[in-house]
Structure 1
Amino acid sequence: MSKTSLFTDHDVYLFKEGSHFQLYDKLGSHLMAVHENKGVYFAVWAPNAARVSVIGDFNQWDRESHPLTMRKDDSGIWEGFIEGVGNGTVYKYHIISRYKNYSVDKGDPFAMRWETPPKTASLVWDLNYKWQDDAWMNTRHKVNSLKEPFAIYEIHLGSWRRVPEEGNRYLTYKEIAHYLADYVKEMGFTHVELLPITEHPFYGSWGYQTVGYFAPTSRYGTPQDFMYLVDYLHQQGIGVILDWVPSHFPTDEHGLVYFDGTHLYEHADPKKGFHPDWKSYIFNYGRNEVRNFLISSAFFWLDKYHIDGLRVDAVASMLYLDYSRKDGEWTPNKYGGRENLEAIAFIKRFNEAVYKSYPSVQTIAEESTAWPMVSKPIYVGGLGFGMKWNMGWMNDTLAYLSKDPVYRKFHINQLTFSIMYAFFENFILPFSHDEVVHGKGSLLGKMPGDEWQRYANLRLLFGYMYGHPGKKLLFMGDEFAQVKEWHHEESLEWHVLQYPFHQGMQRWVRDLNHLYRNEPALHEQDFHIDSFEWIDFHDWESSIVSFIRKGKLTDDIILVVCNFTPIPRNNYSIGVPRGSFWKELLNSDANIYEGSGLGNSGGVEAAPVPKHGRAYSLSITLPPLGVLIFKHEGGIR
């Protein structure tokens, strides 16, 4: 074994300081040549190891033949160059701790490819790839702007489509690329969001129990295959968001846990370092090297894979020391509070670093509490995320729509309350995978009434969602009213699209997406209070609400009217701020969506009759369990 190193003194300084965010270029395994001898440089952080060696197929897993050398700069990094090994080499680190007679075979925390589970070794891998997405990358800052539409299609790659003729196998990254891009483009979604594709040993965790923070799961192909998927989506004008999980990691022995015989990556105190809900370990956010590891992982996906956004999972579990803990099971911070000060500092550092180095991407928080200013800049006291999931809106809206319409008039506040806080954060309105698992059933299954009413209610739900301020997110299958609860071992129920109700729902979501994208009033001021104005939310007896959305241009006005009962309303009067013609852009009750066909023949002329504090009003036909979307066009038709 020859001696060489990729680390400079400056690298080591940044590593110790906690500000080296491209460690994937230094730690792990890297193909290189030393004095014209080709081989692989290995480097791993294990400060409490007495001995570290590289084992693998190349040396018959001999723990003695290829030891690494510990650097003499107190970095805790072991390194070495092994001649004659190359791309695809299978390996692990054999670590003997200086404590408790502990020894273990570990995967490489910085491995860029892993064996396909249930195998657990790492692979040396060259990430060389010729990208074809220059046009996308050069204009991404415009597409990813918060003023632009975000209609996100959340998917789990292993169950979007399968091949039943071949043992129900997954599609590979390359196989799914064209199917997914064509479908997403046709449906009008702007982005896909992938449930975690980072390598994970337990498939049933959907990727949220991550071991390989620098590797796409090999279940669906090689790293280059995943690059092809991202590349092709970009070429078709579709952004790619990854679910990223810095909140916890699993207990698997080959992973990060107890890495060198000590609590290296996880917090040593079980009150801070172990999740009671997920039976997994929590990162020690106060440790510089751990901060390096996590932010380097974020940078890695943005750098090597051209990812356009990171949705950070379970942020609430990071922010609170007492998250899912009873009294006595958590330790207050130094001020006596329940805030996790180290995690808060990490989150701010993460967002600050990402937006500084990759200003055209977005970070998104899944944060389920009322923590203030999650999506506000750090310099004004925020956490620095670009956007936040609006979990309160999702829960209230589903609770309301799940009620029999006869009782909805008593709960209208569940709909109207969201506007009270709609502009406190940069919100995404999510109907995610979490709403269709663990016995919750499908979205369609939550809707009350007979068959026709259930589909009408779901169309109404989506129409109200697309009219409401905030970016949009739907989980796969919701767009065509999947009947069954989602299951990760099965394909979506694509066969139901032979039935008219499902065809109508898919067409409705497609048309909503295209309308949302084409109408600035529905997206360009999503996060500004000037974009929204109630027309009427006092007609609780009839369970009807109406409001307008406004673009930056004075005359750019959209009217949304929702009837949450199965009773049609003829000659229903709605006050409007402008006279002349209001075009009916979409009607959820139209025949093409399998509705009853009630509507307004393309639009209504405003009359100079005051209503709802406006100088003009419309007399409209309001269909049962329907949503109407009008646009002020002026003139006389």
Structure 2
Amino acid sequence: MGARLVAGGEGAHFSVWAPNARSISVIGEWNAWDAARDPLHAARGGVWTGFVPAARRGMLYKFRIVGADGVAHDKADPYALMSEAPPATASVVWDHAYDWGDATWLARRAERQAPTAPMSIYEVHLGSWMRGPGGEHLSYRAVAPKLIAHVRALGFTHVELMPLTEHPFYGSWGYQATGYFAPTRRYGEPQELMALIDALHQAGIGVILDWVPAHFPNDGHGLVHFDGTHLYEHADPRRGVHPDWNTLIFNLARHEVRSFLLSSALMWLQVFHVDGLRVDAVASMLYLDYSRKEGQWLPNHLGGRENLEAIEFLRALNQAIHAEVPGAIVIAEESTAWPGVSHRVEDGGLGFDFKWDMGWMHDTLRYFGRDPVTRAQHHRDVTFRMMYAYSERFMLPLSHDEVVHGKGSLVRKMSPGTGGGSARLANLRLLYAYMFGLPGKKLLFMGDEFAQVREWNHDGQLDWGLLAEAEHAGLMKWVGRLGHLLRAEPALYELDHDPLGFRWAVVDDYKRSTLAFLRRPRQGAVILVILNFTPMTWTNYTVPFEAPGEWVRMLSSDEAQFGGAGHDGPERLIADHSAGGALPCAATLDLPPLTALVYRGPEVKAYDAAALELRESLAAEAEAAREGAVTG
């Protein structure tokens, strides 16, 4: 489909799906945009085709479509490989020729992206991450060495690029796409994006791309009313118009529309070597009444609110990706309690590899926004997540959605208590330790690593000048230490989705707003995380253990190098039988205020029969608790 150059580049075949069109011509630079010179011919299945000898690589073109209504419209090619730089809207005859150098990365991709592998993702909007000296966008090639150096320094395993599919309105951040096969021209040609991905891979960094099959904009040159009928979208606005964004919803009952989207997804993975897709707005696809009031939506043929066509499409998408691109992953941004999002299709699930844990994000940010004096009354906000943590393969996101549209920056969400800006940064260090310590993969939006103070603005670049201030530079150093610790310690990632990998040490000390938990690997050193969510120092604080042993401090968020006050906590904890009472063993310490402490403890042996039995028991308890919480 689209424009495909013949061998030697002298001429191109054009194909476009428009079953209800009366006539279609290719208009372009070579024929002075004259619709009479290069007509296409109707073939089977509603596809129009033709060969244009004068078409050459780099030439602009569109389709002149006389629709079923008799009206002529000039449309961009839905399958174009490249588009004219916005705000211009023509398509460009192009190819995908590129000499890749990432074979080593691809050979190990499946291993690096397995549920048992470390994964921490840096979410990036390329147009506003960093700009040139005159405020201009950096090209895909120009941004590559800067982005790679930054990501490697912070220990992230992946970057997630907000949508790069061509989009007419820059302020949509790419979430309203017209070119599902063309990377946006704002930052260069397709081969330049390939070079960026290639360079990231050669630096050991994976690439995830945001992809949007939920809706598309109503720009006249795009998919809307493509052949004079509602071809890609539903005709009935109760199914076809998205009320939140005034966009159009794909008609997934049409197999050609499903094929269009499946082909787009596979192209990004196969041709551009992208390692995974994060599918946007999945919840809006699953529910027919999403964001609609009574009378504004149509039930399915069974009378329910589930979008049966979307469910089948998402299952087919995930099955196709896993079959055609082994090792690639698919992540769902799904904000409801839809069951089995990350379960296998064969088991009744949707087939995604991971699901964003939006509940954790909302609970956590609400908790950190509270004055520490009142946190004791809301302790459940930081413990409830473990009641359902193993119901899906979760990813913990602190994404761009939390720092736009008047929500303020992440650091501004932190309660200052009585400590002002320093307390906000202490809370942010504490938040990141809590996030990196919990089971689940991690995602952090750009700018949050150094506490961007202003709300994110896509029309500029990040406030990199803040790194001249010690506290902001210290926070970024803290994020880097957490990122590298995550990769170095199997306890922090290997059993992310296995109940045996997590155990509370202190869970119900709400009066002092503290938590302590253990992370264990299949085999190796156990990690202890202790969190004090108050500005109080708790002296002789007791942490229980099941066995005696020595625990060595690896990190303290209050160290001066991270912007803290220098209350580092003890270098060692000795767990012994001295506590007496009901505790098998315990260690005591003075717990610094608003501080996270991370200790490395004794090594554990590989799974044995007792451990496997314990895992099954814990999983059953977690499932029962989750069902009880949902019912309640």
With normalisation by structure 1, the TM-score equals: 0.93
Shift of 1:612: 9.4
Deviation at 1:471, TM superposition (A): 0.4
Residues 2-28 of structure 1 deviation map (CA, whole Å, 9 limit, x = unaligned): xxxxxxxxxxxxxxxxxxxxxxxxx00
Q: Which residue of 2 aligns with 1:18?
A: none
Task: Find the aligned partners of 2:146 and 2:98 in 1 and give their Cα distance.
Answer: 22
Q: Which residue of 2 aligns with 1:544?
A: 514
Moved more, 219-228 or 531-540: 531-540
Q: Does 1:493 align with 2:463?
A: yes
Task: Give the drift of 1:100.
Answer: 2.3
CA distance in 2, matches of 1:538, 1:196: 42
The answer to whether the Cα contact below 8 Å between 1:37 and 1:83 also exists between their aligned partners in 2 is: no
For residues 530 and 103 of structure 1, what CA distance do their matches in structure 2 show?
64
Task: Show CA shifts across 1:428-448 (max 9, x none).
Answer: 000000000000111101111
Distance 2:172 2:499 in 1: 39
Aligned residues: 601
1:452 match: 422
Question: Secondary structure at the residue paired with 2:22?
Answer: strand
**Aligned residue for 1:139?**
108
Maintained 8 Å contact 1:574/1:612: no
Partner of 1:204: 171
Please name the residue that 1:375 is paired with. 342
Which residue among 501, 505, 515 is the counterpart of 1:535?
A: 505
Q: Which amino acid aligns with 2:502?
A: F
**Deviation string, structure 1 residues 594-624 (Cα, Å, up to 9, x no partner):** 2122233422222213579642111112111
Q: Which residue of 1 aligns with 2:56?
A: 86
Is 1:510–2:480 an aligned residue pair? yes
CA distance in 2, matches of 1:567, 1:351: 49
Q: Which amino acid aligns with 1:593?
A: F
Equivalent of residue 151 in structure 2, options 176, 184, 197: 184
Tell me if the contact between 2:9 and 2:56 (Cα under 8 Å) persists in the aligned partners.
no
3-state SS of the aligned residue for 2:510? Answer: coil
Deviations 1:330-384 (A, max 9, x none): 0111111100000001000000111011120100000000000100100111000
Q: Is 1:56 paired with 2:28?
A: yes
Shift of 1:592: 1.1
Distance 2:29 2:80 in 1: 16
CA offsets 1:462-518 (integer angstroms, 9 cap, x no match): 010111111000000000111100000110010000001101100000000011111
Q: Residue 532 of structure 1: CA displacement?
A: 1.0
Partner of residue 249 from structure 1, selected from 172, 193, 216: 216
Q: Which residue number in structure 1 is paired with residue 18 of structure 2?
A: 46
2:578 is paired with a residue of what secondary structure?
coil
CA distance in 1 between counterparts of 2:199 and 2:589 reads: 45
Equivalent position to 1:633, from 598, 602, 606: 602
Deviations 1:385-406 (A, max 9, x none): 0000000000000000000000
Give the counterpart letter for 1:369 in structure 2: T
Counterpart check, 1:30 vs 2:4: yes
Per-residue CA shift, 1:517-542, capped at 9, x if unaligned? 11111101101111111112211111
Q: Decide whether the 8 Å contact of 1:366 with 1:389 is kept in 2.
A: yes
- The answer for the alignment partner of 2:330 in structure 1 is 363
Q: Secondary structure, in 3 states, of the residue corresponding to 2:339?
A: coil
- 1:407 aligns to what? 374
Report the CA distance between 1:586 and its aligned residue.
Answer: 0.9
Deviating 4+ runs (over 6 angstroms):
none
Query: Which string of whole-angstrom CA distances, capped at 9 and with x for unpartnered residues, describes residues 97-149 of structure 1?
Result: 1x322220000000000001000000000210000111111111111111101
Question: Shift in Å at residue 578 of structure 1?
Answer: 2.9
2:494 to 502, 506, 524: 524
Q: Does 1:576 align with 2:549?
A: no
SS of the aligned residue for 1:371 comes to: coil
Q: Is the 8 A contact 1:259 1:265 kept in 2?
A: yes
| Aligned partner (choices 79, 93, 103) of residue 124 of structure 1 | 93
- Contact preservation (8 Å) 1:44, 1:78: yes
Partners of 1:189 and 1:536 lie apart in 2 by 29
Q: Tell me the equivalent position of 1:8.
A: none
Residue in structure 2 matched with residue 106 of structure 1 by the alignment: 75
Call closer, same or farther: CA 1:37–1:144 in 2, change over 3 Å.
Answer: closer
**Residues 181/612 of structure 1: CA separation in 2 closer, same or farther (3 Å cut):** farther
Between 152-161 and 82-91, the greater mean CA deviation after superposition: 82-91
In the alignment, the residues of structure 2 paired with residue 123 and residue 370 of structure 1 have an alpha-carbon distance, to the nearest angstrom, of 43
For residues 546-566 of structure 1, what are the alpha-carbon distances to aligned partners after superposition, in whole Å with 9 as ceiling and x for unaligned? 11111112x531111110000
The equivalent residue for 1:17 is none
Task: Quote the sequence identity (%).
Answer: 52
CA–CA distance in structure 2, aligned partners of residues 37 and 567 of structure 1: 72
CA contact (8 A) 1:580 1:634 kept: no
Range with greater deviation from structure 2 (58-67 or 381-390): 58-67
Alignment of 1:580-595 (within 5 A): 580-595=549-564
State the TM-score, normalizing by the size of structure 2: 0.94
The answer to whether the 8 A contact 1:63-1:94 is kept is yes
Task: Trace 1:312-461 onto structure 2 (pairs within 5 A).
Answer: 312-449=279-416, 450-461=420-431
Partner of 1:193: 160
Distance of 1:487 and 1:423 partners within structure 2: 36
AA partner of residue 256 (structure 1): L
Residue pair 1:92, 1:121 contacting (<8 A) in 2 also? yes
Check whether the contact 1:573–1:611 (CA below 8 A) recurs between aligned residues: no
In structure 2, the gaps of 5 or more residues are 605-632
Offset at residue 634 of structure 1 (A): 7.1
Runs (5+) with no aligned partner, structure 1: 1-26
Letter of the aligned partner of 1:149 in structure 2? P
Rounded Cα–Cα distance in structure 2 between residues aligned with 1:612 and 1:274: 64
Change beyond 3 A, Cα 1:332–1:102: same
User: Using the alignment, how far apart are the partners of 2:286 and 2:377 within structure 1?
Assistant: 35
Contact 2:569 2:592 in 1 (8 A): no
Query: AA paired with 1:599?
Result: D
Once the two structures are TM-superposed, the CA of residue 267 in structure 1 deviates from its matched residue by 1.3
Cα contact 1:162–1:490 (8 A) shared by 2 = yes
In the alignment, the residues of structure 2 paired with residue 349 and residue 371 of structure 1 have an alpha-carbon distance, to the nearest angstrom, of 18
Preserved contact between residue 136 and residue 234 of structure 1 (Cα < 8 Å): yes
**Conservation of the 8 A alpha-carbon contact between 2:397 and 2:442:** yes
Q: 1:607 aligns with which of 568, 576, 591?
A: 576
Q: In 1, Cα distance between the equivalents of 2:574 and 2:146? A: 43
Structure-1 residue corresponding to 2:612: none
SS at match of 1:267: coil
Aligned to 1:154: 123
Which of 166, 172, 183 does residue 216 from structure 1 map onto? 183
User: What is the rounded CA distance, in whole Å, between the counterparts of 1:425 and 1:613 in structure 2?
Assistant: 34
3-state SS of paired residue (2:218): coil
Instruction: Give the Cα separation in 2 of the matches to 1:418 and 1:360.
Output: 28
Report the equivalent of 1:238.
Answer: 205
